[in-house]
Structure 1
Amino acid sequence: MTTTHDHDPFAAVPNGARHAALAELARQGPLHRLVLPTTVPAWVITGYAEARAALADPRLVKGGPDNAPYVAELEPETSAGLNHHMLTADPPTHTRLRKLVSTAFTRRQVERLAPGIETLCTSLLDDVAERLAATGEADLMESLAHPLPLTVICDLLGIPEEAREDVRTWMRPLLAGGIFGFDTYAAAARKMLAFTRDLVAEKRHTPADDLLSALVQARDGEDRLSEDELTSMVQLLFIAGHDTTVSLIANGALALLSDPAWTASLREDPGQWPGALEELLRFDSPVQVAMPLTAAADVEIAGRTVPAGDVVIVSLLAANRDPARFAGPALLDLARDDGGHLAFGHGIHHCLGAPLARLEGRITLRALVERFPGLRLATSPESLEREPALLFNKLTSLPVRSS
Structure 2
Amino acid sequence: MEEQNEFFEVAGLLGHDTNRLMLGEEIITYMRIPTITQAANILSRADLEQRAKRANTFFDAIKGRERMGQGIHDRGEAVVFAYGQPLVSDTHGLNRHFPLRVKAISVKVKRIKAGECLEVSTRGMDWDIDHMEELYCIVNIDTLILEPGASLIVRGNVFSLVCQHIVKLGTDKEGKYDIGILPTPYAFHSDGSSNMVGADGKIGKNGKDADFVKDVETKATFFGPLYYGEQTKALSGERGEDGEYGQKGEDGKAGGATKLAEITIRDIDAKKGNLCIFAKTGDGGSGGNGGHGGDGGNGSNGQSGYQTLSKWIMQGQGGDGGNGGNGGNGGHGGNGGIASNIYISVNQDQIDCVKVIAEQGFGGLSGKGGMGGRGGTPGEGIPTGKKGHDGLEGNSGRRGHNRMAPPVFLNEVKLSSTD
* Alignment TM class, shorter chain as reference: under 0.3
Tell me the TM-score normalized by structure 2: 0.21
The answer to which structure has the higher helix fraction is 1
Pick 1 or 2: higher relative contact order, CA cutoff 8 A, min separation 6. Answer: 1
The answer to which structure has the higher strand fraction is 2
**Which structure's CA Rg is the greater one?**
2
Tell me the TM-score normalized by structure 1: 0.21
